């Protein structure tokens, strides 16, 4: 079994960009928080501690099934699945965390050109779960041929009109991008970057999620590490969540050993959501 990623993996700051503010890196003690506005990675789940747990579960399940109890095996799996708690959440920045204006819909577009079949359904399902957890409405603006990249701006009127560029979720070839998928010997399943305007750094207005075209994990939400949980993890970053160490949360650096948001993830999303009140979003392009 491969070792789990080292603490702080994927937390390298992005170079300064003209279209978004990059804050100094957070202290690297304790649970690492990625710098706000930096690209951010998620390793393939099969290398993380969650998979080690799953391997143990699989052995238990197989043993019980051999004794004649598929249902018993399933019950044992559920009983031993990691459980998080509401305290297990972190934000991209300490203090008052950056967040979206929860009183306006978050627009998103999808570039599935390099994606496996079923990917658009996974995106919509992941967005639905984020919307449910935050109370924030999302609006699908359709397909896009825009390719995620580190230099993506927050304001792209030639593509999307006079408004903040929608959140872009696209599949990319790691060999043909400036996004760093390889770090410390690990290959990320996806990389995400929430973006704020130049003038206002506490409001998120855009972002992108780059899914690794070559990641071997399949579409769906059936198992930790599948494409659906990867999308949930990256959308957690897009909403303003950072990493936690608990394997019962999907915001564990490797996605934990879960297929959905855990209690801490949900509490963090709630604290970034509609219940916190409206924000005044800056004028597009400012
Ligand atoms: Zn992450």
* Whole-number pLDDT of residue 5: 34
Q: Considering only CA atoms, which of 201, 196, 226, 178 is closest in space to residue 51?
A: 226
Those residues of the chain that have pLDDT short of 70 are 1-81
Q: Distance from the CA of 158 to the center of ligand 1, in angstroms?
A: 31
5-16 pLDDT, tens digit per residue, is 322 223 322 322
* Whole-number pLDDT of residue 55: 28
Q: Distance from the CA of 23 to the center of ligand 1, in angstroms?
A: 17
* Whole-number pLDDT of residue 213: 96
* Distance in angstroms (rounded) separating the CA atoms of residues 98 and 239: 9
Residues 6+ apart with CB under 8 A from 185: none
Q: Distance from the CA of 244 to the center of ligand 1, in angstroms?
A: 9
* Whole-number pLDDT of residue 15: 28
Written out in words, the top-level CATH class of the domain with range 84-276 is: alpha beta
* Distance in angstroms (rounded) separating the CA atoms of residues 99 and 282: 13
CB atoms within 5 A of ion ligand 1 belong to 42
Q: Distance from the CA of 115 to the center of ligand 1, in angstroms?
A: 20
* Whole-number pLDDT of residue 60: 26
């Amino acid at each position: 079994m491969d070792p789990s990623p080292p603490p702080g993996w994927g937390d390298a700051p992005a170079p300064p960009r003209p279209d978004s503010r990059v804050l100094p890196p957070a202290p690297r003690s304790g649970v690492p928080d990625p710098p706000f506005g930096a690209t951010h990675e998620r390793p393939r789940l099969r290398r993380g501690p969650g998979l080690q747990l799953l391997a143990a579960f699989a052995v238990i399940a197989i043993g019980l099934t051999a004794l004649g109890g598929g249902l018993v095996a399933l019950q044992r799996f559920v009983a031993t699945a990691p459980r998080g708690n509401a305290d297990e959440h972190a934000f991209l920045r300490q203090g008052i965390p950056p967040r979206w204006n929860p009183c306006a819909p978050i627009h998103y577009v999808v570039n599935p050109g390099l994606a496996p079949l079923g990917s658009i359904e996974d995106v919509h399902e992941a967005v639905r779960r984020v919307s449910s957890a935050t109370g924030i409405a999302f609006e699908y603006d359709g397909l896009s041929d825009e390719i995620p990249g580190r230099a993506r701006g927050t304001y792209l009127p030639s593509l999307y009109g006079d408004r903040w560029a929608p959140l872009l979720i696209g599949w990319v070839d790691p060999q043909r991008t400036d996004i760093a998928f390889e770090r410390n010997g690990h290959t990320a399943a996806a990389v995400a970057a929430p973006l704020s305007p130049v003038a206002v750094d506490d409001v998120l207005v855009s972002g992108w999620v780059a899914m690794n075209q070559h990641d071997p994990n399949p579409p769906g939400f059936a198992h930790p590490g599948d494409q659906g949980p990867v999308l949930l993890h990256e959308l957690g970053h897009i909403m303003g969540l950072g990493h936690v160490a608990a394997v019962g949360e999907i915001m564990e650096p490797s996605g934990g050993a879960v297929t959905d948001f855990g209690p801490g993830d949900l509490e963090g999303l709630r604290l970034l959501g509609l219940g916190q009140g409206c924000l005044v979003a800056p004028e597009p392009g400012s």
